[in-house]
Amino acid sequence: MVVETKSAQFDSIALDSGATLTPVEIAYETYGNLNADASNAILVTHAFTGDAHAAGISHDAGKPGWWDNMIGPGKAFDTDRYFVICSNVLGGCQGTTGPGSINPATGSPYAMTFPVITIRDMVRLQRMLIDSLGIRRLLCVAGGSMGGMQALEWAVSYPDRVLSTIPIATTWRHSAQQIAFNEVGRQAIMADPDWSDGDYYDKKPPARGLSVARMVGHITYMSDESMREKFGRRLREKEKFGFDFGVDFEVESYLRYRGNQFVSRFDANSYLYITKAEDYFDLTNGTGKLAEAFRQSDTRFLVISFTSDWLYPSYQSQEIVRVLRRINGDVAYCDLQSNYGHDAFLVDIAEQTELVKGFLASTARMAKAA
């Protein structure tokens, strides 16, 4: 299935910070067909560094989508039944307006003049896209990690626009540890002299800083066990230590490779803005009263966590589940056994598929009966 990224433009969007972006563009892809009464649409929301290309083979680069193992004919998000939409988030760098976009007022990239955005802003722009596609109510919003935050935000901000949500490996508010790792990434970027206060678009980008940020990120996405299995203490193309600071260990080589590869596809300023949006994320706006946040919502929930995920640990999902239970919400929950750490929702998909399929089928049945 070869897919092309499309784009929609809107005159403006009002942001949580009080600022307004004029105009705003959103990149998106769709898979499958929207049915006659527009009742089979599912929005898939991507994690931090993801993009609109969730499934199929991209027309330009010939690459599979980031959740191609979950979206397609007969897969968890079965495109023979459902119309699946994925868009790049606000503040991103893969087609949706972000700090690297041209500010029409100046003719130059926004860079650090781009307004600080929130998860709710991302979701507001997604809602504008859904409106423009003629979809009144989504069958489901589903995503992992930051995608899960967006799914939760949909249920709270637009409860009448979404029948069900599948938040995976996520949290209802960013924790101190999550903020801490993001801050290390941001400081690595800003400490790189090439960052130049964000004005690097006509110069050399802060590749070293961004690469270090990505290395830290990658560590948090894996688990002690998955790293032990994948790398152990194996040396990289050598029999003994080099007694220097070149690459000795396989794991060093892997992290450097991932870091360098990331630089070619991601904008450092987007890294700053999106991590900030994650850190500001708190469904309760600081009150801590999660039950209040969910009270307006009669959305169905399928909450999924993974046993070895230490970046978004299972207890954070369980907090969501407990509160939904307290308000007698419709919630299904499973803590899936996996060694892959936070990355599990992208790679360990057999059991996740089983859950998602059954949940979507029963949601569709309920929608039809209602």
Interaction of residue 73 with other proteins, rule CB under 8 A: yes
Nearest to 198 by CA among 279, 265, 280, 98: 98
Interaction of residue 361 with other proteins, rule CB under 8 A: yes
Cα four-point dihedral sign 327, 329, 334, 335: negative
Query: At closest approach, how far in Å is the CB of 354 from other proteins?
Result: 5
Distance between CA atoms of residues 130 and 36, nearest Å: 16
Nearest to 91 by CA among 124, 58, 69, 54: 124
Interaction of residue 353 with other proteins, rule CB under 8 A: yes
- How many Cβ atoms sit within 10 Å of the Cβ of residue 113? 13
Contact assessment for residue 65 and residue 55, using Cβ atoms and an 8 Å cutoff? yes
Interaction of residue 250 with other proteins, rule CB under 8 A: no
Interaction of residue 298 with other proteins, rule CB under 8 A: no
Query: At closest approach, how far in Å is the CB of 114 from other proteins?
Result: 40
Smaller CB separation from other proteins, 182 or 352: 352
Tell me, what amino acid is at 216?
A: V
Interaction of residue 34 with other proteins, rule CB under 8 A: no
- How many Cβ atoms sit within 10 Å of the Cβ of residue 309? 28
Query: At closest approach, how far in Å is the CB of 141 from other proteins?
Result: 17
Smaller CB separation from other proteins, 242 or 288: 288
Interaction of residue 59 with other proteins, rule CB under 8 A: no
Supply φ then ψ for residue 250, to 5 degrees. Answer: -55, -40
Distance between CA atoms of residues 131 and 137, nearest Å: 9
Interaction of residue 80 with other proteins, rule CB under 8 A: yes
Question: DSSP per residue over 8-30, as a string?
Answer: EEES-EE-TTS-EESSEEEEEEE
Active site residue 145: yes
Smaller CB separation from other proteins, 151 or 213: 151
Catalytic residue, chosen from 78, 342, 343, 348, is: 342
Size of the site for other proteins (CB under 8 A): 32
Residues with Cβ within 8 Å of residue 323, at least 6 apart in sequence:
290, 291, 294
Smaller CB separation from other proteins, 196 or 362: 362
Contact assessment for residue 299 and residue 155, using Cβ atoms and an 8 Å cutoff? yes
Interaction of residue 367 with other proteins, rule CB under 8 A: no
Cα four-point dihedral sign 187, 277, 313, 316: positive
Interaction of residue 347 with other proteins, rule CB under 8 A: no
Residues 326-345 touching other proteins, rule: CB under 8 A, are: 326-328, 330-337
Smaller CB separation from other proteins, 73 or 242: 73
Active site residue 174: no
Active site residue 342: yes
Catalytic residue, chosen from 309, 317, 338, 343, is: 309
Interaction of residue 357 with other proteins, rule CB under 8 A: yes
Distance between CA atoms of residues 206 and 200, nearest Å: 8
Q: For other proteins, which stretch binds (CB under 8 A), given 27-35, 111-119, 189-197, 361-369?
A: 361-369
Would you please indicate which residues are annotated as catalytic (active-site) residues? 145, 309, 342
Contact footprint for other proteins (CB under 8 A)? 73-74, 78, 80-81, 300, 302-303, 321-322, 325-328, 330-337, 351, 353-355, 357-359, 361-362, 365
